[in-house]
């Protein structure tokens, strides 16, 4: 008497495992979203970030002056009703230049970190999933980039490409690639050993589908947190390049360049340095608080 054929355990369990995985992911996202609004640091940081984003979006509606409008009769005026943050050595309204400078800093930070995330995550996926010689080559490239101090490496890149805001953005993206690449690689090394990935391999699913459907969705959490913190770093690095004259060029109202131009007036007109410095400080503080909040919410090890 012949035995009845039994279905493959891997084949029958895979759809169920995939459905449970998707439902667990959706549930965790909902819980994280609710927890975000209960986390004080995340709410404060998100509020600061949202404030600067809105400031950049509605800049033309807020200011009565042009960011490069020169008034020789109003040079180095203290804060007043006509000029809330005072004027610089050319008579330009500092409040106007800070508002428009928010556009530059957020634009540079967003695209620099976005480029770092895309390139770094792709290289990290390849290195972590395939291993072997690909992992060795990519990891050595990351180690080489990390061997140089980030600011010195950025200065070298901008010096070769030429001082400009766009080249500073490229430099910031390049020096942050290893951070996201190594983080993604370590996450992929853990995720690819999970049962749902092994089951997908057993049923013959192609590598690119495994990466898109299973590995990447379960590896994005630390990238999101690092991306938020990296945004703050990118704003600081953009200001540093501007301060050194390697980033935004005159007459662009970039915060770091504004600090550099006002160094000689630190005693006679301190407001020319105080307000751009405060703009940098609060922007970085907002992204750091938001990033810390996301880490506390999304990282199970940080939960009590």
pLDDT digits (tens, 9 = 90+) for 245-285: 898 888 888 999 999 988 888 888 899 999 999 999 999 99
pLDDT digits (tens, 9 = 90+) for 110-143: 999 999 999 999 999 998 888 889 889 999 999 9
Quote the distance between the C-alpha of residue 276 and its chain's center.
21
- Give the single-character DSSP code of 67: T
Position 8 scores a pLDDT of: 43
Number of Cα atoms under 13 Å in the Cβ half of residue 117: 21
What is the distance in angstroms between the CA of the first residue and the CA of the last residue of the chain? 59
Position 24 scores a pLDDT of: 57
| Cβ-contact 113, 106 below 8 angstroms | no
pLDDT digits (tens, 9 = 90+) for 43-58: 899 999 999 999 999 9
What is the Rg, in whole angstroms, of the alpha carbon atoms belonging to the chain?
25
Which residue ranges of the chain lie beneath pLDDT 70?
Answer: 1-33, 36, 299-304
Position 20 scores a pLDDT of: 59
Distance CA 68, CA 52 (A): 20
Domain residues of the chain, as ranges? 39-68+85-302
Instruction: Encode 264-275: b = buried (16+ Cβ within 10 Å), e = exposed.
Output: eeeeebebbbbb
| Cβ-contact 293, 47 below 8 angstroms | no
Distance CA 222, CA 299 (A): 8
Position 1 scores a pLDDT of: 44
Position 122 scores a pLDDT of: 92
| Cβ-contact 179, 116 below 8 angstroms | yes
Distance CA 268, CA 270 (A): 6
Average model confidence (pLDDT) across the chain: 83
- CA-to-CA separations, 254 to 97, 176, 206, 273, in angstroms, rounded: 8, 21, 47, 12
DSSP state string for 133-146: HHHHHHHHHHHHHH
Alpha helix (H) residue ranges in the chain: 9-36, 40-57, 59-62, 94-130, 132-146, 150-161, 165-191, 195-202, 207-210, 220-243, 255-261, 271-298
Would you state the structure tokens that stand for residue 133, as one six-digit string?
């010689």
Q: Prior bond to 202 cis, omega within 30?
A: no
Would you state the structure tokens that stand for residue 136, as one six-digit string?
């060795």
Would you mind telling me the total number of residues written for the chain in this entry? 304
Q: Which CATH number fits domain 39-68+85-302: 3.40.1350.10, 1.10.3720.10, 3.40.50.720, 3.40.50.970?
A: 1.10.3720.10
């Amino acid at each position: 008497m012949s035995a009845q054929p039994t279905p493959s355990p891997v084949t029958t369990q895979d759809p169920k495992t995939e459905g449970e995985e998707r439902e667990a992911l959706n549930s965790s996202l909902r819980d994280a979203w609710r927890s975000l609004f209960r986390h004080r640091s995340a709410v404060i940081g998100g509020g600061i970030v949202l404030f600067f984003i809105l400031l950049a979006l509605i800049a033309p509606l807020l200011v009565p002056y042009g960011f490069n409008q020169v008034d020789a009769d109003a040079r180095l005026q203290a804060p007043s009703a006509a000029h809330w943050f005072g004027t610089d050595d050319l008579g330009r309204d500092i409040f106007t230049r800070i508002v428009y400078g928010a556009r530059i800093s957020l634009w540079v930070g967003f695209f620099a970190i976005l480029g770092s995330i895309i390139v770094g995550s792709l290289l990290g996926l390849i290195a972590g999933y395939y291993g072997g010689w690909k992992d060795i080559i990519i990891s050595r490239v990351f180690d080489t980039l990390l061997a140089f101090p980030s600011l010195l490496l950025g200065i070298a890149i901008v010096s070769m490409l030429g001082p400009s805001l766009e080249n500073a953005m490229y430099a910031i993206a390049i020096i942050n690639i290893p951070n996201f690449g190594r983080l993604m690689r370590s996450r992929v090394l853990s995720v690819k050993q999970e049962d749902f990935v092994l089951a997908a391999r057993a049923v013959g699913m192609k590598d690119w589908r495994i990466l898109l459907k299973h590995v990447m969705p379960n590896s994005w959490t630390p990238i999101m947190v690092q991306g938020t913190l990296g945004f703050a770093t990118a704003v600081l690095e953009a200001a540093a390049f501007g301060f050194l004259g390697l980033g935004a060029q005159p007459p662009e109202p970039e915060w770091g360049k504004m600090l550099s131009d006002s160094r000689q007036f630190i005693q006679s007109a301190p407001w020319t340095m105080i307000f751009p410095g405060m703009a940098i400080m609060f922007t970085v503080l907002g992204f750091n608080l938001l990033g810390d909040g996301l880490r506390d919410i999304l990282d199970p090890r940080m939960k009590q």
